[in-house]
Amino acid sequence: MPIEFATVPHPDEIARADALRRHGLLLKPVGSLGKLEDLGAWIAACQGQSPPRPLKRTRVVVFAGDHGIAAKGVSAYKPEVTRQLLAAARSGGGALNVLADVAGAGLRVEDIAVDSAEDGEFKVRRGSGSIDVEDALTADEAEAAVRAGMRLADAEVDSGADLLVPADLGVGVTTPASTLVAALTGTEPVAVIGRGSGIDDNGWMRKAVAVRDALRRARPALSDPVELLRTAGGADLAAMAGFLAQAAVRRTPVLLDGLASAAAALVAEELAPGSRSWWLATHRSTEPAQVLALDHLDLEPVVDLGVRLGGGAGATAVLPLLTASARLLTEMTTFDQVPLPE
């Protein structure tokens, strides 16, 4: 049965306008809080009310997966490092764990396609195919992965999440992510390749060749986003795309992080047009493909932290700014509340 998404609703532009109007009444120079004012208005639009409710249940969801292309030397790390990263995230020892704790966000870690014998409710397969010479997934696996992401979004929203952050975890993920961006933006391989995990010049050249070959295979699938994910994506990226699209259908704002989430967002916008109005680009990555994807989606990053990869780190670091932007609208005093001294 083909995957179909419900029509994506529009955020409430009246609430956005009212939030911006309210900023003009607060006890401060007009426009003096810059992007914080726009962030608060975005939250108000997503919630459909001004002033917005305080953010109380933000959730970071990690999509872990391996990629066959990692065996071709496109990463500075060996494929088995994915399992180390997964163990660290589950034990609380990863960078994302620390940042989520600081931001007061809950963290959920799901094995979508890690190359291990471990099974799970949302696991699709053990590693995705090497996209330079084979498909990432079968047709059934691609559909299962997108539906897994949809179910994860529904589960989080049904549990009361008011803001979501998808995060990637897996060695080699920037190669299929770069391929998806190149395919959907009509960009040549050399223009999307970054240093990823910290590859040297030889690694960069291997990655460029891998993306070139994968892109050649991906181009015939451009008209069908699920087919594109099957051919040149991966189970984790497919699940993330389904998650992003379904969150928009469910009127839930999402923070985009690095290259993987940006690539998944490009596909999600194809799956459910209009989804991008529910997303906020949190930071500018050093990966050129991420910048291209965000430009294509007409999303402007909030900050530039020099974060190379992502894995949720940049988005989670920005979470306190979102929390503050909502509270400014609800807790600041207005000019009318403080009369001028005589």
For the domain that residue 88 is a member of, what is the CATH number? 3.40.50.10210
Q: Do residues 77 and 45 both lie within one domain?
A: no
Q: Do residues 176 and 102 both lie within one domain?
A: yes
Q: Do residues 139 and 208 both lie within one domain?
A: yes
pLDDT at 208 over 80: yes
As a whole number, mean pLDDT of residues 173-193 equals: 96
pLDDT at 1 over 80: no
Residue 293: burial class (beta carbons within 10 Å; 0-12, 13-18, 19+): buried
Q: Do residues 126 and 262 both lie within one domain?
A: yes
The residues annotated with a catalytic role in the active site are: 311
Q: Does a structural domain hold residue 132? A: yes
Residue 200: burial class (beta carbons within 10 Å; 0-12, 13-18, 19+): exposed
Range of the domain at 162: 58-316
341 pLDDT band, cuts 50/70/90, is: confident
Can you give the CATH number for the domain in which 45 is found?
1.10.1610
Q: Per-residue pLDDT tens for 281-306?
A: 999 999 999 999 999 999 999 999 98
Q: Per-residue pLDDT tens for 96-154?
A: 999 999 999 999 999 999 999 999 999 999 999 999 999 999 999 999 999 999 999 99
Q: Do residues 74 and 45 both lie within one domain?
A: no
Q: Does a structural domain hold residue 237? A: yes
Q: Do residues 305 and 195 both lie within one domain?
A: yes
pLDDT at 189 over 70: yes
Q: Does a structural domain hold residue 4? A: no
pLDDT at 270 over 70: yes
Q: Do residues 120 and 152 both lie within one domain?
A: yes
Cα gap 255→289, rounded to integer Å: 18
Q: Do residues 73 and 48 both lie within one domain?
A: no
Q: Do residues 76 and 207 both lie within one domain?
A: yes
Q: Does a structural domain hold residue 7? A: no
Q: Which residue would you say has higher pLDDT here, 336 or 94? A: 94
Q: Do residues 259 and 310 both lie within one domain?
A: yes
Total number of domains in the chain? 2
Q: Do residues 85 and 113 both lie within one domain?
A: yes
Q: Does a structural domain hold residue 212? A: yes
Q: Do residues 107 and 227 both lie within one domain?
A: yes
Provide the pLDDT for residue 245: 98
Output the CA–CA distances (angstroms, integers) from residue 147 to 1, 120, 141, 168, in the order listed: 11, 15, 10, 17
Q: Does a structural domain hold residue 249? A: yes
Q: Does a structural domain hold residue 2? A: no
Q: Does a structural domain hold residue 3? A: no
